[in-house]
């Protein structure tokens, strides 16, 4: 989502004459768009500002995003080099705020939750993104309040953008060259506009856009995997059969402590429904290891679930507390034990990934061509399951769906040779 927001921030600043520079030293304004999900996010911001201090003449320094929202006043106090902090729901005001700063030279702290105003404002400015695979935010915020997560505090309550606004932006992206759209939301499948339009309505309407070849969405909550959405995996050919569906733990005790609002059985019932409706579907997930209170038995439950589902492309981390969340006050687990568990889990997840990649060997697969590698007769694209593919080709067209024969692979990538544009899905 930060990539989407950063592009929109650029669209907004270019209106007041601030254009992108690739020469860092020339920058008059430096915007650091931050994310609070990863560990030590705040310290990374100060480190980056330290680098700016060394490299640049004093530019106007703006910190935006979720760290700005969470730390606001303290940031300006701690680092006088920062001139402005802007929360993720206020960045539509960045143009006016910069002009204000230029006039008054007074520090600015803008961290209101004005999400409706933000999207109304963004609607007036066309999205200049022109990537083959483009992001499109449809929903923001979250009402789930998982005990480990900062999102409900930094992005605010769930908000769904107006249906038509999204379709118009999608059409604009496709006319800019996008051939894949990734619908974004912190809780994307909670999308519900006016109690009439849901994520399934969006997917079905977007499926009719000419030249849009692929649709994906992320990140989903298991509780919001409703029947109408699952049905899209049967009916909509452009919806890719790959779903990122975080579970975090395979233990019901831990899921309850996390306040996840679903249990293991419910999660498995969603997986079964998906597999039943589309036998090609693959699922990836997120896991937190060593959550406060996790025992060896709880961890075994997670490992069993992983074996059962056979996840691909998953993310796993050791629990780390986020200030202000309920889990941050809990007693931490033994770190050495957590590291051993994480290693075990990651080995198993990597094995699944390896097996999944191996299956492609000597097979043809459908690849959406995203770009040509610099100074090489090689192209980059992705399979229907997001796996990166690097392939040789004399001549092929960016944005096309190619038929690529896979000749080798490693843990993360597939390598192959372009055959034709005639597609055989794999
Ligand atoms: S559902 Fe996702 S975004 Fe919402 S609180 Fe839980 S982890 Fe955070």
Residue whose token pair is 């090689």: 378
pTM higher than the cut 0.85? yes
Ligand 1 atom with the shortest distance to the CA of 149: 8
Ligand 1 site, residue 213, Cβ cutoff 6 A: no
Atom 8 of ligand 1 has which residue's CA nearest to it?
A: 149
- Kindly report the backbone phi and psi dihedral angles of residue 319, in degrees, each rounded to the nearest multiple of 5, phi listed first: -55, 135
Ligand 1 site, residue 152, Cβ cutoff 6 A: yes
Residue 28 Cα to ligand 1 midpoint, Å, equals: 36
Which tens digits make up the pLDDT trace of 187-214?
999 999 999 999 999 999 999 999 999 9
Residue 154's pLDDT band (cuts 50, 70, 90) = confident
Residue 149 Cα to ligand 1 midpoint, Å, equals: 6
Ligand 1 atom with the shortest distance to the CA of 152: 5
Ligand 1 site, residue 189, Cβ cutoff 6 A: no
Ligand 1 site, residue 150, Cβ cutoff 6 A: no
Q: Which residue has the higher pLDDT, 276 or 72?
A: 276
Ligand 1 site, residue 146, Cβ cutoff 6 A: yes
Residue 145 Cα to ligand 1 midpoint, Å, equals: 6
Residue 220 Cα to ligand 1 midpoint, Å, equals: 9
Question: Helix, strand, or coil here: 80?
Answer: coil
Residue 56's pLDDT band (cuts 50, 70, 90) = low
Ligand 1 site, residue 203, Cβ cutoff 6 A: no
Burial 199-232 (b: 16+ CB within 10 A, else e): bbbbbbebeebeebbbbbbbbbbbbbbeeebbbb
Ligand 1 site, residue 258, Cβ cutoff 6 A: no
Ligand 1 atom with the shortest distance to the CA of 248: 7
Ligand 1 atom with the shortest distance to the CA of 221: 1
* Mean pLDDT (whole number) for 242-248: 97
State both tokens at 362.
């000597």
Atom 6 of ligand 1 has which residue's CA nearest to it?
A: 146
Residue 33 Cα to ligand 1 midpoint, Å, equals: 20
Roughly what angle, to the nearest 10 degrees, separates helices 94-104 and 2-15? 50
Q: Which residue has the higher pLDDT, 44 or 236?
A: 236
Which tens digits make up the pLDDT trace of 87-115?
998 999 999 999 999 999 999 999 888 88
Residue 424 pLDDT > 50: no
Which tens digits make up the pLDDT trace of 31-51?
999 988 776 778 888 998 988
Close Cβ partners of 103 (under 8 Å, ≥ 6 residues apart):
none
**CB-CB neighbours of 43 under 10 Å:** 10
């Amino acid at each position: 989502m930060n990539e989407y927001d950063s592009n929109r921030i650029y669209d907004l600043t270019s209106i007041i004459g601030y254009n992108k520079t690739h020469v860092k030293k020339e920058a008059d304004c430096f915007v650091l768009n931050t994310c609070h999900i990863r560990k030590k996010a705040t310290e990374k911001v100060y480190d980056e500002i330290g680098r700016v201090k060394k490299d640049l003449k004093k530019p106007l320094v703006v910190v935006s995003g979720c760290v700005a929202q969470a730390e606001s006043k303290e940031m300006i106090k701690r680092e006088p080099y920062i001139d402005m902090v802007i929360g993720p729901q206020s960045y539509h005001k960045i143009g006016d705020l910069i002009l204000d700063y230029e006039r008054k030279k007074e520090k600015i702290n803008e961290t209101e939750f004005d999400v409706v105003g933000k999207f109304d404002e963004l609607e007036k400015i066309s999205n200049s993104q022109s990537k083959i695979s483009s992001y499109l935010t449809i929903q923001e915020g979250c009402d789930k309040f998982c005990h480990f997560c900062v999102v409900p505090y930094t992005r605010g309550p769930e908000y769904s953008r107006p249906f038509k606004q999204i379709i118009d932006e999608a059409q604009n992206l496709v006319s800019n060259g996008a051939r894949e759209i990734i619908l974004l939301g912190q809780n994307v499948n909670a999308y519900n506009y006016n109690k009439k339009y849901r994520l399934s309505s969006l997917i079905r309407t977007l499926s009719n856009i000419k030249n849009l070849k692929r649709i994906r969405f992320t990140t989903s909550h298991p509780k919001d995997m409703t029947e109408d959405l699952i049905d899209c995996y049967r009916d909509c050919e452009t919806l890719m059969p790959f779903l990122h569906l975080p579970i975090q733990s395979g233990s019901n005790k831990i899921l309850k402590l996390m306040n996840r609002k679903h249990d293991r059985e419910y999660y498995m019932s969603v997986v079964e429904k998906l597999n039943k409706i589309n036998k090609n579907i693959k699922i990836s997930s997120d896991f937190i290891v060593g959550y406060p209170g996790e025992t060896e038995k709880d961890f075994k439950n997670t490992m069993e679930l992983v074996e059962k589902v056979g996840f691909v492309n998953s993310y796993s981390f050791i629990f780390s507390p986020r200030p202000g969340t309920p889990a941050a006050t809990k007693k931490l687990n033994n770190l050495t034990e957590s590291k051993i568990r994480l290693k075990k889990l990651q080995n198993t997840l990597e094995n699944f990934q390896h097996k999944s990649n191996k299956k492609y060997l000597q097979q043809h697969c459908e690849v959406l061509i995203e770009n040509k590698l610099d100074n090489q007769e090689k192209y980059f694209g992705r399979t229907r399951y997001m796996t990166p593919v690097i392939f040789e080709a004399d001549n092929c067209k960016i944005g096309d769906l190619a038929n690529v024969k896979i000749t080798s692979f490693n843990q993360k990538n597939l390598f192959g040779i372009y055959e034709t544009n005639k597609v055989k899905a794999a």
